[in-house]
Amino acid sequence: MLEIITSQISFFGLLLIFFIGSAFSLLVQKNDRAANIVSSLFAITGSLYGLIFSICLILTGRTLLITSHSASFPLLSMSFHLDLLAAFFIFVISLIALFCSIYGFGYIKHYFKQYNIGALGFFYNLNIASLILVVTAANGLFFLIAWELMSITSYFLVVYERNDKKNISAGYLYLIMTYVGTIFIMLSFLLLFKYTGSFDFAIIKANIALVPRIIKDIVFIFALIGFGTKAGIIPFHIWLPAAHPAAPSHYSAILSGIMIKTGIYMMLRLFLDILQPIPIWWGLTVLIIGSISALLGVLYALTEHDIKKLLAYHSIENIGIIMLGLGSALAFYSLNLPSLALLGLMAALFHTLNHAIFKSLLFLSAGSVINEMHTNNMEKYGGLIKFMPHTALFFLIGSMAISALPPFNGFFSEWLTFQTLFQGIRQLQFSSQWIFIFATGSLAFTGGLALACFVKAFGATFLARPRTTEVTKAKESNFSMLLGMGSLAVLTLLFGLFSGYLTTIFEKIGQDFSIFKNVSSLSSVLGFQSLSTNNNFASVSAPAIFVGLIIATLLAVIVTKYFINRKQKLVEGATWDCGTDLNGRMEITATGFSRSIVLIFKGILKPSIQHEVEYHDAENRYLPKSSAVTLSVSNVYQIYFYQPLSTSINKLSLRVKNIQSGNINAYISYIFLALIIALFSIL
Amino acid sequence: MIRLFLKILKTPKNIIPINNTPEQTEVFVVGQKIHNQVNRLFKGSLAIRQIDAGSDNACEQELVALSNSFYDIERFGIHFVASPKHADMLLVTGPVTRNMANAVKRAYEATPNPKIVVAVGDDAINGGLFKNSYAVLDGVDSVIPVNYQIPGDPPSPKIILQHLLNILESLDNKSTAIK
Amino acid sequence: MNILSWIIQIIFVPLVSPLCIGIIKKTKAKFQNRQGANIFQPYKDLWKLFHKDEVISSEASWIFKFAPFIIFAVTILVGASIPLISPYIQNTLTSDLLVIVYLLSIGTFFLALAGMDTGSAFGGFGSSREMTVAALAEGGFIFSLLAIALVSGTTNLSAITSASMFNHSQSFLSVILAAIGFFIILLAETGRFPFDNPATHLELTMIHEAMILEYSGKRLALIEWASANKLVIFIALAVNIFFPFGVATSFATGAVIIGLGAFLIKILIMCLIIAILESGIAKLRFFRLPDLLAVSFILSVIAIGLIN
């Protein structure tokens, strides 16, 4: 049975389900309900099958190699290489796609009669298929084809709600940044082709010694920029906060949970697998970029009051945390500490999985809220916990997971990352040690600031009293949406409880890399599922924490309610308001909540206040008619990086335009010049 | 900081002992029935919330003086709190002005049972200096039910303290209502 | 003796915490030339609060009603996990450095949410200030404990305490610097001077008190008790991890009794230090607090840099 499931036919069957789903939903596009049912059904079936497929592949530890050489394109071979890393990423893709599709079945209903549901189903299924193709491609050109497919289908999904102009400009920015990234990826592949003579990853890896050191460094930088643009590291992140809010919520979850991880996947593949051996400064650079992304991501999230933009900035922060694990793995391996490198890789992989789960959960709950409130602005929410209690509970669980609170899964992957960094501080010297200290500091502050940000997000959205009357009309989401969110919430808890067991699986996945064969990560699972690293430098037990918390809480509740003063009466009264009347304008706003932190970090964030007052009489300005205060944060990347870049490119283009003088004689002289140069270069 | 500590060490003790002198054992009770559970509940620890219902601040000055090193109300286990939800006893001063009537009522409703209401000062008892003015409601008992009174214009901190201690003493024996 | 050590480990923190608060208040009163309340007064306050009714705002949700239980439960769990008198009880399950830090963050999280839940203006800005201080204190917290963990070779708190201080005499300066950094974090997280005035009545100056203005009766008692527990937890961490003299190294009766006595004396000294500090300095303006927290962080980083 396992043989059949983990065979080549089965893999092609998996892809086929998604392709058929996309084609079929386009066929029934005239009927909204049918298109919704068809696309969701095929997506759900495909994801379920992908889950089974990847789990079987990981458990049996097989590697699938599928190659086909076609004579028509000599360099392009449609070959797939499914090792354990690819199987793990297929697992993540299928898991998130499954719950997003279940959620989407109920969510898409509000697009009926406004947009083309068949097109949505078409692009959605095609996107998931392309994601699977991207993580399994074994040939550079084939990879680029899959990458293009993924980018284009995601572009159409981002601009799906085309009636809103902001979405169109967001999609445009996303498209441009993706293509800038793709150019750098193409350049790096071309450089590798030039020195090793092939686009096949296996052949490049075998001939890596032919590539000179300086070319490898250039490939590293180009790959970092290219895949970093997709992953969303600072300063190439500017498309993330624009594109994530624009897409439909169930797709935002896939964008944030899976698509940006494909950048991480290729970075793992290139830096840990293909381009080895590498110098140490690669790992340290990735560490520094990860620390900066993590800190700046969470600081920008604190300034946002658009709920989806806030979640998008948190994706940047978590990508930074994953890069911390990746960077430490690279650095340790270059310093001949393979066990610690394996630990770093395990931390990065675990956080990839956890982030995909809790970020999707958060985006799906935010989508439910936006569905009912018809606005992204958190300042118009408030008191939603009374109208949407289940959504509030799921958002709370997601917030606790992303703030790394035990016993949810976010804590355990951050714990592993911390342990890797601690080992770095302990065992390294001088400048490497200080970079690890910087990375640990940024991770420590990121955890605290993320906690503050989610108190703000949850509190401003769900607690206190409504700030607008729209809130009172909100209703709870329908069953399929609740099912999608609820399953993800349960998974955050389960993956946290079983983190010990999962770590052994990640060790197995890491050992599949050729540099880590027969390397032990010195981490083990001891009694009570306690995970210990580095021969008991540290140990933590997830079930013990969970059981301890449950017992302590039950004890507190039972003793307080039933043993002390049973005759106590609970009277319902009003909030103590010092005699005034409290209304929705008197509670703390999301902007006000984070204003203290924004002012503390004003060197980085550069906040600004603008007052506009309109007076009844412009001459004697005594009685104001209306007054507006705009609090904003200056967009540093636009002003100091992208704007000067685009201005200089424009200036350069204007200069070059002078070649096109319109004079025929000049053009003939160009041809003559080109001919002479060509003759010279041949001789 | 060293000079501060030296000064602290050199200042002599100046606390005023409060004992039950015979002429002050009277307790001025006003009709309302005390909640049954109050026996012995507040003797060890009493949280007071002070409400200014439009007073002329004379009584407030005396109440503030209760926390200084001369009278030191804390040594009896009594302390002042900021929110009526934390309070056991409401000390209301001032003839309730029209603007503060609603606030006093809300504070009373926000205080959890069992609670005691004490009107401090002649203004709070029957309007005092401001009696029959158009702007006041002539005493706290026109707004919320009052349990005890402390007369005086304003009562000195020693008198307030003796009354409070007597109230706490009498809570023990007070099991029946007075009318 | 085994059972007795375990029982002491679980009930010690909630039992002793009101006494510590009482000692601090009494010392501050003496410094203000007053007589002050009895040192057992907080026990009477808690008992009275447990026997009162509650008034709960109609705008509060289940988070407001549930938060005090989870906050109290977290302090019980952390109190049972940290080394108190006999680190000989090797707790490898929940006694990790990061677990303690993040378990305490659960308490902060729910307290801040409860502060926002009733929709009063005070609760909202109390939560905002509390989260700002907690977010910035996390760096110093993790790093000061990390410095000692690197010196002792493990992040398990019980194991750190088992190693005697004189074993790492060459890192003496690191231990002292990390201890100062940790002391600043102690003041920040437990809401003492110069970060917060625990006895203030002015809502505009409150940080911790502002979030609990809406609580009454049993829930208020639980939250007050939990904040006292947190104070004892931080004091226990400060004295046991940085200055582990006199801890019991075995389950023998004599060792446990000496351990208990030494620990009580150390707690008394720390309470006196906190009370004397509170009587001598003023509360800082809110936007000067990040400077102080940054000082704590930098001291701990220097401590790490000075190891070996």
- How large is the average pLDDT for residues B89-104? 92
What letter does residue B149 receive in the DSSP assignment?
E
Q: Does residue C97 have a pLDDT over 80?
A: yes
Reported as a pLDDT band with limits 50, 70 and 90, residue A520 is confident
Total of domains in chain C: 1
What does the pLDDT read at residue C1? 57
What does the pLDDT read at residue B108? 93
B36 vs A: CB within 8 A: no
User: How many Å apart are CA A591 and CA A607, to the nearest integer?
Assistant: 12
User: How many Å apart are CA C248 and CA C256, to the nearest integer?
Assistant: 5
Residue A132 host element (H or E) = helix A117-136
CB proximity under 8 Å: C 209-268 to B: 209, 213-217, 220
Greater model confidence, A451 or B37: A451
**Any alpha helices (H) in C153-251, and if so which ranges?**
157-162, 172-189, 208-211, 217-242
Omega prior to C87 cis, within 30 of 0: no
Tokens of C158: 């019980």
Q: What is the chain C residue with the closest CA to A399?
A: C109
Q: Does residue C233 have a pLDDT over 50?
A: yes
List all residues 6 or more positions away from B113 whose beta carbon is below 8 Å from its beta carbon. Answer: A569, A571, B35, B37, C52, C53
A570 vs B: CB within 8 A: no
- Interchain pair A593, C142: CB under 8 A: no
The Cα of A385 is separated from the nearest Cα of chain B by a number of Å equal to: 24
Task: Please tell me which chains touch A, using 3 or more CB pairs under 8 Å as the contact test.
Answer: B, C
CB proximity under 8 Å: C 183-212 to B: 200-201, 203, 206, 209
- How large is the average pLDDT for residues A201-217? 89
Reported as a pLDDT band with limits 50, 70 and 90, residue C93 is confident
Count Cβ atoms within 10 A of the Cβ of residue A194 and give its class: 0-12 exposed, 13-18 middle, 19 or more buried. exposed
Q: What is the chain B residue with the closest CA to A579?
A: B103
What does the pLDDT read at residue B176? 36
C76 vs A: CB within 8 A: yes
Q: Please, are residues A385 and A395 in contact by the beta-carbon 8 Å criterion?
A: no
Residues of chain A neighbouring B113 (CB-CB closer than 8 A): 569, 571
B15 vs C: CB within 8 A: yes
Q: Does residue A533 have a pLDDT over 80?
A: no
Question: pLDDT for A108-123, tens place per residue?
Answer: 988 888 888 999 999 9
Among the listed residues A87, A93, A81, A96, the one whose alpha carbon sits nearest the alpha carbon of residue A56: A87
Q: Does residue B24 have a pLDDT over 60?
A: no
Question: pLDDT for C272-299, tens place per residue?
Answer: 999 999 998 999 999 999 999 999 999 9
What is the full DSSP assignment across A19-66? HHHHHHHHHTTTSHHHHHHHHHHHHHHHHHHHHHHHHHHHHHT--EEE
Among the listed residues A436, A417, A438, A379, the one whose alpha carbon sits nearest the alpha carbon of residue A585: A379
Q: Does residue A528 have a pLDDT over 80?
A: no
Tokens of A620: 């004697």
Residues of chain B neighbouring A577 (CB-CB closer than 8 A): 106
The size of the A-C interface in CB pairs under 8 A is 254
β-sheet bridge partners, residue B118: B91, B148
Domain enclosing residue C301, as ranges: 2-306
User: How many Å apart are CA C114 and CA C127, to the nearest integer?
Assistant: 9
Q: Report in angstroms the alpha-carbon separations of B91 from A84, B59, B136, B137, B154.
A: 73, 10, 18, 17, 13
CB proximity under 8 Å: B 61-90 to A: 83-85
Helix axes C97-117, C121-152, angle to 10 degrees: 180
* Residue A152 CB neighbours (<10 A): 16
Q: For the full predicted model, state whether its pTM sits above 0.90.
A: yes
Q: What is the mean pLDDT of chain A?
A: 90
Task: Kindly tell me the sign of the dihedral angle through the C-alpha atoms of A13, A18, A21, A23.
Answer: negative
C117 vs A: CB within 8 A: yes
User: How many Å apart are CA A580 and CA A560, to the nearest integer?
Assistant: 34
List all residues 6 or more positions away from A671 whose beta carbon is below 8 Å from its beta carbon. Answer: none
Residues of chain A neighbouring C53 (CB-CB closer than 8 A): 568-571
- Interchain pair A579, B109: CB under 8 A: no
Question: pLDDT for A429-485, tens place per residue?
Answer: 888 899 999 999 999 999 999 999 999 999 999 998 899 888 888 888 899 999 999
CB proximity under 8 Å: B 118-137 to C: none
Q: Report in angstroms the alpha-carbon separations of A129 from A147, A178, A463.
A: 11, 19, 40
- Partner-chain residue, chosen from A437, A447, A465, that has the shortest CB–CB distance to C138: A447
Q: What is the mean pLDDT of chain C?
A: 89
- Interchain pair B113, A571: CB under 8 A: yes
C70 vs A: CB within 8 A: yes
Say which residue the tokens 């029982």 belong to: C7
- Partner-chain residue, chosen from C94, C121, C301, that has the shortest CB–CB distance to A587: C121
Determine the length of chain B.
Answer: 179
Q: What is the chain A residue with the closest CA to C220?
A: A560
- Partner-chain residue, chosen from B8, B11, B85, that has the shortest CB–CB distance to C213: B85
User: How many Å apart are CA C124 and CA C128, to the nearest integer?
Assistant: 6
The structural domains of chain A, with segments of one domain joined by +, span: 294-565, 594-616+623-634, 639-682
What does the pLDDT read at residue B22? 47
SS3 A375: coil
CB proximity under 8 Å: C 30-49 to A: none
SS3 letters across A418-459: HHHHHHHHHHCCHHHHHHHHHHHHHHHHHHHHHHHHHHHHHH
Question: pLDDT for C160-196, tens place per residue?
Answer: 887 655 565 677 888 899 999 999 999 999 999 899 9
Residues of chain B neighbouring C34 (CB-CB closer than 8 A): 15, 68-69, 72, 74-75
- How large is the average pLDDT for residues B7-26? 69
Q: What is the chain B residue with the closest CA to A565?
A: B37
User: How many Å apart are CA B44 and CA B40, to the nearest integer?
Assistant: 8
Among the listed residues A205, A226, A211, A201, the one whose alpha carbon sits nearest the alpha carbon of residue A77: A201
Residues of chain A neighbouring C225 (CB-CB closer than 8 A): none
Residues of chain A neighbouring C89 (CB-CB closer than 8 A): none
Question: pLDDT for A349-395, tens place per residue?
Answer: 999 999 999 999 999 999 999 999 999 999 999 889 999 999 999 99
User: How many Å apart are CA C106 and CA B45, to the nearest integer?
Assistant: 31
A609 vs B: CB within 8 A: no
What does the pLDDT read at residue A519? 81
Question: pLDDT for A482-503, tens place per residue?
Answer: 999 999 999 999 999 998 889 9
Quick one: how many helices (H) and strands (E) in chain A? 26, 8
What does the pLDDT read at residue B178? 33
- Interchain pair C116, A440: CB under 8 A: no
SS3 B165: helix
C149 vs A: CB within 8 A: yes
Among the listed residues A289, A296, A281, A132, the one whose alpha carbon sits nearest the alpha carbon of residue A225: A289
Residues of chain C neighbouring A415 (CB-CB closer than 8 A): 96, 98-99
C69 vs B: CB within 8 A: no
- How large is the average pLDDT for residues B149-169? 87
Phi, psi torsion values for A305, nearest 5 degrees: -120, 15
SS3 letters across A282-314: HHHHHHHHHHHHHHHHHHHHHHCCEHHHHHHHH
Task: Kindly tell me the sign of the dihedral angle through the C-alpha atoms of B138, B139, B141, B144.
Answer: positive
Interface with A, mutate which of C64, C65, C91, C93 (most A CBs under 10 A): C93
B85 vs C: CB within 8 A: yes
CB proximity under 8 Å: B 139-178 to A: none
Count Cβ atoms within 10 A of the Cβ of residue A649 and give its class: 0-12 exposed, 13-18 middle, 19 or more buried. exposed
Among the listed residues A398, A383, A400, the one whose alpha carbon sits nearest the alpha carbon of residue A462: A383
**In chain C, pLDDT over 70 holds for what percent of residues?**
94
Q: Please, are residues A127 and A153 in contact by the beta-carbon 8 Å criterion?
A: yes
Q: Please, are residues A297 and A329 in contact by the beta-carbon 8 Å criterion?
A: no
- Interchain pair B75, C213: CB under 8 A: no
The structural domains of chain B, with segments of one domain joined by +, span: 24-173
The Cα of B34 is separated from the nearest Cα of chain A by a number of Å equal to: 17
**In chain A, pLDDT over 70 holds for what percent of residues?**
98
- Interchain pair B109, A574: CB under 8 A: yes
The Cα of A574 is separated from the nearest Cα of chain B by a number of Å equal to: 7
CB proximity under 8 Å: C 11-40 to B: 25, 29, 31-38
Q: What is the chain A residue with the closest CA to C287?
A: A600
Question: pLDDT for A598-610, tens place per residue?
Answer: 999 998 888 888 9
The Cα of B96 is separated from the nearest Cα of chain A by a number of Å equal to: 13
C124 vs B: CB within 8 A: no
Among the listed residues C136, C160, C138, C134, the one whose alpha carbon sits nearest the alpha carbon of residue C147: C160
Q: Does residue B179 have a pLDDT over 70?
A: no
Residues of chain C neighbouring B88 (CB-CB closer than 8 A): 48, 52
Buried b (16+ CB within 10 A) or exposed e, C239-260: bbbbbbebbbeeeeeebbeebb
Q: Does residue C71 have a pLDDT over 90?
A: yes
- How large is the average pLDDT for residues B60-64? 92
Q: Report in angstroms the alpha-carbon separations of A77 from A139, A544, B118.
A: 6, 51, 91
Task: Please tell me which chains touch C, using 3 or more CB pairs under 8 Å as the contact test.
Answer: A, B
Among the listed residues A356, A143, A346, the one whose alpha carbon sits nearest the alpha carbon of residue A258: A356
- Interchain pair A574, B110: CB under 8 A: yes
Question: pLDDT for A112-166, tens place per residue?
Answer: 888 889 999 999 999 999 999 999 998 899 999 999 999 999 999 999 998 888 9
CATH number for the domain running over B24-173: 3.40.50.12280
Among the listed residues C219, C268, C235, C272, the one whose alpha carbon sits nearest the alpha carbon of residue C46: C219
Tokens of A184: 């750098």
Q: Does residue A547 have a pLDDT over 50?
A: yes
Q: Please, are residues C186 and C241 in contact by the beta-carbon 8 Å criterion?
A: no
Where is average pLDDT lowest: A560-564, B132-136, C146-150? A560-564
User: How many Å apart are CA A247 and CA A557, to the nearest integer?
Assistant: 43
The size of the B-C interface in CB pairs under 8 A is 88
B1 vs C: CB within 8 A: yes
Count Cβ atoms within 10 A of the Cβ of residue A352 and give its class: 0-12 exposed, 13-18 middle, 19 or more buried. buried
Q: What is the mean pLDDT of chain B?
A: 82
Count Cβ atoms within 10 A of the Cβ of residue C273 and give its class: 0-12 exposed, 13-18 middle, 19 or more buried. middle
Residue B49 host element (H or E) = strand B46-52
Say which residue the tokens 């890797």 belong to: A420
What does the pLDDT read at residue B177? 35
